[in-house]
């Protein structure tokens, strides 16, 4: 009896040995480098005819391009699982996958702590207007044109998207004496709220001293924060984003920052990465990082391991550990496996 076939797309940084060990029960194929055209040709010429599922990542998008409608349509019929490395998966057309009854998993949980740590770093950097003195110090100007910053104590942190990362952010913020409010599509179980107050979207905008974006990017959430929403925020709000840049209309954010409606921003993600709006780059009240949210050894390894576990659960048991939210509850999707 032949082994099931699985495909690795892109490279592994920390789990090559674990991947190679799967050869005892799977036929392993690899597409570590190449082009989208070559990948599509492999789908058409039979190279991937037996593939049951794949490991892919946000980084591998540079090789195949996005898993959009065209690419998903080209996948051979036996291909029923996409184990994705990334908490965000906006480069996968989940609707197209669902139409083909292809299940998709992502890597929540594994990214929660590192991303929340980055969120706190950005929040504190923005509250203390840290960019200018950091630059001035290296230029020999000591503190430079120092502005007095603000303490987090007593401030209200508004979290848009109270999933794992949002809850990890709230947990850390409580230690600074912050009040926590949040908005989700649905209110959390009170046991998960841990004292956080559920509010409407409009209340989140009007009551937050710091607004943190911790939600997935999709067509419904793209530009969820634009000029009208920024106009409804508290004067002098601080905006923090560790999720996806396109959740915010970057040009509108620059306008609000320059007008003073937004006092400072802490951003790890940008609308058109790696390009950044010049109005953010030149503004000394913008505390910026180049998408470092999950850039730790421990988190990157945990993410890769979770993807491999998802792939194995899918092929061996017809289950997935961390199915994407859009597919949960659909009648054809695999059951969620026990972690």
Q: Which residues are catalytic?
A: 244, 273, 291
**Cβ atoms of 258 and 281 closer than 8 Å:** no
What distance in Å separates the CA atoms of residue 23 and residue 168, rounded to the nearest whole number?
A: 37
The two three-digit tokens of residue 330, written as one number: 């659909």
The two three-digit tokens of residue 286, written as one number: 């913008």
**Cβ atoms of 284 and 259 closer than 8 Å:** no
What distance in Å separates the CA atoms of residue 166 and residue 113, rounded to the nearest whole number?
A: 10
Beta strands 156-160; 103-105: pairing state: unpaired
What distance in Å separates the CA atoms of residue 203 and residue 58, rounded to the nearest whole number?
A: 34
- CA angle 268-272-278, nearest 5°? 80
What distance in Å separates the CA atoms of residue 182 and residue 212, rounded to the nearest whole number?
A: 9
**Cβ atoms of 212 and 92 closer than 8 Å:** no
């Amino acid at each position: 009896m032949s082994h099931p076939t699985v495909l690795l797309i892109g490279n592994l940084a920390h789990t090559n040995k674990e991947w190679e060990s799967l050869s005892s029960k799977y036929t392993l194929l690899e597409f570590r480098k190449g082009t989208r055209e070559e990948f599509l040709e492999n789908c058409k010429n039979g190279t991937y005819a037996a593939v049951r599922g794949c490991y892919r990542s946000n980084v591998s998008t540079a090789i195949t391009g996005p898993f959009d409608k065209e690419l998903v349509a080209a996948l051979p019929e036996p291909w029923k699982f996409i184990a994705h490395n990334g908490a965000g998966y906006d480069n996968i057309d989940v609707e197209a996958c669902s139409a083909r009854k292809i299940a998709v998993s992502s890597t929540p949980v594994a990214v929660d702590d590192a991303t929340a740590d980055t969120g706190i770093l950005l929040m504190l950097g923005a509250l203390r207007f840290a960019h200018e003195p950091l630059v001035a110090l290296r230029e020999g100007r000591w503190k430079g044109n120092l502005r007095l910053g603000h303490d987090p104590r007593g401030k209200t942190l508004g979290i848009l998207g109270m999933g794992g990362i949002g809850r990890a952010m709230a947990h850390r913020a409580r230690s600074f004496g912050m009040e926590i409010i949040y908005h989700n599509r649905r209110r959390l179980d009170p046991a998960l709220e841990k004292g956080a107050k559920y509010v409407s979207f409009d209340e989140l905008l009007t009551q937050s001293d710091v607004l943190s974006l911790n939600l997935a990017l999709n067509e419904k959430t793209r530009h969820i924060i634009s000029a009208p929403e920024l106009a409804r925020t508290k004067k002098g709000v601080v905006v923090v984003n560790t999720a996806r840049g396109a959740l915010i209309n970057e040009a509108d954010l620059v306008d609000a920052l320059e007008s003073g409606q937004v006092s400072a921003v802490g951003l790890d993600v940008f609308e058109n990465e790696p390009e950044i709006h010049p109005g953010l780059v030149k503004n000394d009240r913008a505390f910026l990082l180049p998408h470092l949210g999950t850039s730790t050894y421990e988190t990157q390894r945990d993410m890769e391991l979770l993807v491999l576990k998802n792939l194995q659960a899918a092929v061996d048991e017809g289950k997935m550990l961390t199915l994407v939210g859009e597919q949960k509850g659909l009648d054809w999707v695999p059951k969620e496996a026990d972690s």
